[in-house]
């Protein structure tokens, strides 16, 4: 079973090499860094960027990613990963092979997870590169290291969202539905992300895990994200096996 899963995963990688999903994986982090770099230059100019402005730059990249771009990226990424089979009736072909629906579901989920991890790494590298260019290469290690830890926490805390969006895209032929959920979730983060009800809204976990006000809050969000992701993964794999074919 593991060998077949790895084979399917490699097949999904080959299918994604020249797909729109690959471009989106790199474009979304780039947009975040470009916007924050523009805000930094507008605030401080090319010369004399203050420590406070640098702090806002690093914080802004994390906040903009977790608040706005991450929910939209997850919705778009999972929709594109599953979209090829929906458009070309590829489910019928794939499920005539000696593979189970569960194996195919997990392989696509692993691809989406890998692309999510690469997107986070791209955000870190692009932000660090922008800081290096604007500071003549004198980038402090501590801000970049802090951002790396925050993005890792955001990645782990976003696992429930990844599973939910992947399941939705797996089940629905209409790409509008998962994208609409992502847009609505972004609005929900603004309303619930800083309220006492954030624990009930998985889309608020990444921002709380990366930018939470204190260590206990960040640890709670990370715990909720990891445990929720594992539970939803087990439930969704069971559900995918009961469906003979996606819609």
Residue 92's pLDDT is what?
A: 61
How many C-beta atoms lie closer than 10 Å to residue 23's C-beta? 11
Average confidence (pLDDT) per 10 residues, the chain, 247 residues? 81 83 93 94 76 88 93 94 71 65 90 97 94 74 89 96 94 86 87 81 93 86 96 93 61
Residue 245's pLDDT is what?
A: 54
Question: Length of the chain in residues, anyone?
Answer: 247
pTM: 0.90
User: What's the rounded Cα separation, in Å, for the pair 125 and 121?
Assistant: 6
User: What's the rounded Cα separation, in Å, for the pair 91 and 83?
Assistant: 10
Do 94 and 104 form a contact (C-beta atoms < 8 A)? yes
Residue 141's pLDDT is what?
A: 74
Domain ranges (residues) in the chain: 2-242
Q: How far is CA 80 from CA 6, 19, 100, 167, 185, in A?
A: 20, 8, 21, 13, 18
Residue 65's pLDDT is what?
A: 95
Q: H or E stretch including 103?
A: helix 101-134
């Amino acid at each position: 079973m593991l060998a077949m899963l790895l084979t399917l995963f490699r097949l999904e990688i080959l299918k994604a090499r020249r797909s729109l999903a690959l471009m989106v994986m790199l474009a979304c982090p780039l947009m975040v860094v470009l916007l924050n770099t523009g805000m930094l230059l507008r605030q401080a100019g090319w010369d004399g960027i203050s420590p406070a402005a640098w702090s806002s730059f690093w914080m802004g990249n994390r906040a903009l990613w977790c608040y706005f771009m991450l929910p939209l990226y997850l919705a778009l990424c999972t929709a594109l990963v599953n979209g090829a089979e929906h458009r070309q009736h590829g489910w019928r072909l794939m499920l005539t092979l000696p593979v189970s629906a569960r194996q195919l579901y997990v392989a696509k989920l692993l691809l989406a997870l890998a692309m999510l991890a690469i997107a986070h790494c791209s955000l870190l590298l692009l932000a660090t590169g922008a800081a290096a260019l604007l500071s003549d290469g004198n980038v402090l290690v501590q801000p970049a290291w802090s951002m790396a830890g925050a993005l890792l926490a955001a990645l782990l805390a976003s696992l429930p969202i990844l599973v939910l969006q992947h399941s939705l895209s797996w089940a629905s032929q209409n790409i509008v539905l998962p994208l609409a959920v992502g847009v609505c979730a972004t609005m929900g983060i603004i309303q619930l992300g800083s309220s006492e009800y954030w624990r009930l809204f998985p889309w608020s976990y990444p921002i709380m895990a990366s930018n939470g006000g204190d260590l206990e809050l960040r640890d709670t969000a990370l715990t909720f994200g990891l445990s929720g992701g594992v539970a939803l993964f087990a439930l969704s794999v069971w559900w995918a096996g009961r469906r003979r074919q996606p819609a």
